[in-house]
Amino acid sequence: MQLHARHFLISFFSFLIVLSACKKSELPEQPEVPIPSLRMNLDSTILANDNFFGTRLSVILKNFPEGTSDAVEWRVENPRIAEVTLEGVVWPKGAGITYVFAKLLNGKGEAKCKVIVTDGNDYKYRLVLTDKGKSDFSIGRPEAFLSSKAIERRRKRNIPIDESDLPIAKQYLKEITEIGGTIVAQSKWLNTVTVNVKDQFLIDKYKALPFVKEVVLVYVGKRKLSSEVQKYVDSPQPGSSGNLGTSIDYGSAALNINTVKGELLHQQGFKGEGMDIAVIDDGFMQLKNNPAFSNIRIKGAKSFVYENDDPYSIDTHGVWVTSCMAVNKPGSYVGTAPEANYWLLRTEDSATEYPVEEDYWTSAIEFADSVGVDLVNSSLSYSDGYYLPQQRYTANDMDGRTAFASRAANMAFKKGIFIVNCAGNEQKWVGTPADSPSVLTLGSINSNGTQSYFTSWGITADGRIKPDVMAMGGGASVINTSGIAENRSGTSYASPIMCGLVACLWQANPTLTNNDLMEIIRKSADRAGHPELPFGYGIADMKKAMELARIKVGSK
């Protein structure tokens, strides 16, 4: 038994030695087969949404058989944050993180790239409400939301105070604010609230509010630091017009007034005293420090532009426009309503062109109504120039009741305000709010009575002729920011020249309504019997307007 065991062990170890030797020589190690792989040229990319620069992605094939196609199908995980073109270019859309995937068309591989979108933009949305909610005010106590002058205008014109006068419910405003962002404008007439937000995806939460029926993007712009936002505290300027008398040396403004025979109103002592005029315009740079404006009566000034609340800090257009009416410097320059009171309201962000300016305009004219103004001059126009293509108007929108600002103008007219607006300088159909039937739209003539080449004109979508009348706008005299007279051209100046004279005419005939005045000014023009483009009813004639006003008053 022991011999057999020993023999067995010797045989077993001999077998192992033979097997080991056989493994080395007969079973060599096989080389590793490379595994095909697909990856992006970038593992991740950061895009700045406020710069609108895209990044091109591509795929890198490794260890695929020669001739393998690198054609891929691109897709993005969250299309609200980024989008990818067929060529693999990634574009930012909204702040956040997502992934872009590239899948080989042969299905043999997929790669991904992390996309981080940062955002330095602010967004403004117009929230269109279903209603104004349960009011915190009562029609029976209008003094809580309207000035005594606004209430008096309604009483004098027999205009009822109704639901449209009530502000939007505080509860609605509270719920909107709690979502985030800042309320920058609101309209009690059109049931809208405009909010400024840093996160554009708050739109989902706004849409979820039960009283919000539509959300409209009205602004996209570079975010400003809080230190850049201006702070302004208003103070009125009492003014001291003195006694102009009836024989006035208009200085360089003479042609502005004589072209439409406005001096005849002044000669009878009507220079706008007691009339309140709101100027809705660009900024009024340093107007209160301008020597030419030192004695005009300014009841108040306000900027409705969210990024800058100082109406006197930037922009000069409002200075030129206001001078046509307000300046009262005999022998140098006298405007068309030198004894009127003025409200200076800034609604234009001259650095951009977005629909939010109509929201500001609407807030401004509602403010003007609430403080009791009689007339509004608006040398502004909105048509097809917005930076947001989907918000641009067409001629078919100009029917006097579709555009946002036109709807606000119609409401203001119903509240008894007389509105004068420039036709625009685009040599085509007029924009909003000039298309409104409730607005006296001014085109421009030169000193010789010919039409200024730049004047916009046309037939509105509902068949009305615009502009309504013409006044001096080609080479009109204005006061600049240094207090010196200079000539400028634009329908922007024809508008205030006429607005000031309408104020004087209304002062002379206080029982007339704004509707009466609209009819009288049109009938006074030299083509009233046969209106024609581009003149409309023609060149206004304030002498004839005075005669028509007397007849109208006598018939009441």
User: pLDDT tier at 15 (50, 70, 90 boundaries)?
Assistant: very low
pLDDT for 503 equals: 98
Residue 21 scores a pLDDT above 70: no
10, containing H or E segment: helix 2-26
Residue 307 scores a pLDDT above 80: yes
- Return the top range by mean pLDDT from 39-53, 216-230, 236-250: 39-53
C-alpha pair distances (Å), 257 with each of 115, 151, 248, 483, 542: 63, 33, 11, 19, 10
pLDDT for 68 equals: 86
The tens digit of pLDDT for each residue in 255-303 reads 999 999 999 999 999 999 999 999 999 999 999 999 999 999 999 999 9
pLDDT for 241 equals: 62
Q: Across residues 53-77, what is the average pLDDT?
A: 91
pLDDT for 3 equals: 44
Which residue ranges does the chain devote to CATH 3.30.70?
A: 121-223
User: pLDDT tier at 52 (50, 70, 90 boundaries)?
Assistant: confident
467 and 457 in contact (C-beta within 8 Å)? yes
The Cα 288–Cα 300 span in angstroms is 11
Which of 23-37, 180-194, 404-418, 436-450 comes out lowest in average pLDDT? Answer: 23-37
Which of 24-38, 229-243, 492-506 comes out lowest in average pLDDT? Answer: 24-38
pLDDT for 245 equals: 74
Which residue ranges does the chain devote to CATH 3.40.50.200?
A: 275-555
Q: Across residues 392-396, what is the average pLDDT?
A: 97
pLDDT for 229 equals: 60
The Cα 411–Cα 408 span in angstroms is 5
- Residue 126's closest CA among 190, 175, 193? 193
Contacts of 527 (CB under 8 A, 6+ apart): 535, 536, 537, 538, 539
The tens digit of pLDDT for each residue in 137-159 reads 999 999 999 999 999 999 999 99
SS3 325: helix
pLDDT for 31 equals: 65
DSSP at 128: E
pLDDT for 67 equals: 83
Task: Compute the mean pLDDT over every residue in the chain, rounded to the nearest whole number.
Answer: 92
Helix axes 317-326, 491-508, angle to 10 degrees: 30
pLDDT for 106 equals: 86
171 and 133 in contact (C-beta within 8 Å)? yes
Which residue ranges does the chain devote to CATH 2.60.40.1080?
A: 37-118
The tens digit of pLDDT for each residue in 184-204 reads 999 999 999 999 999 999 999
pLDDT for 37 equals: 87
Contacts of 410 (CB under 8 A, 6+ apart): 400, 401, 436, 437, 438
pLDDT for 114 equals: 97
pLDDT for 25 equals: 52
Q: Across residues 116-127, what is the average pLDDT?
A: 95
CATH class, domain 37-118, is mainly beta
Query: Is it true that domain 275-555 has CATH number 3.40.50.200?
Result: yes
In the chain, % of residues over pLDDT 70: 93
Residue 2 scores a pLDDT above 70: no
The tens digit of pLDDT for each residue in 79-88 reads 999 999 999 9
Residue 16 scores a pLDDT above 90: no
- Choosing among 1.10.490, 3.30.70, 3.30.420, 3.30.110, the CATH entry for 121-223 is 3.30.70
The Cα 41–Cα 55 span in angstroms is 11
The tens digit of pLDDT for each residue in 464-514 reads 999 999 999 999 999 999 999 999 999 999 999 999 999 999 999 999 999
User: pLDDT tier at 240 (50, 70, 90 boundaries)?
Assistant: confident
Using alpha carbons only, give the angle 141, 147, 153 rounded to the nearest 5 degrees. 95
User: pLDDT tier at 18 (50, 70, 90 boundaries)?
Assistant: very low
Place of tokens 């105070």: 161
Q: How many CB atoms lie within 10 A of CB 36?
A: 13
- Check the CA dihedral 495-499-501-505 and report its sign: positive
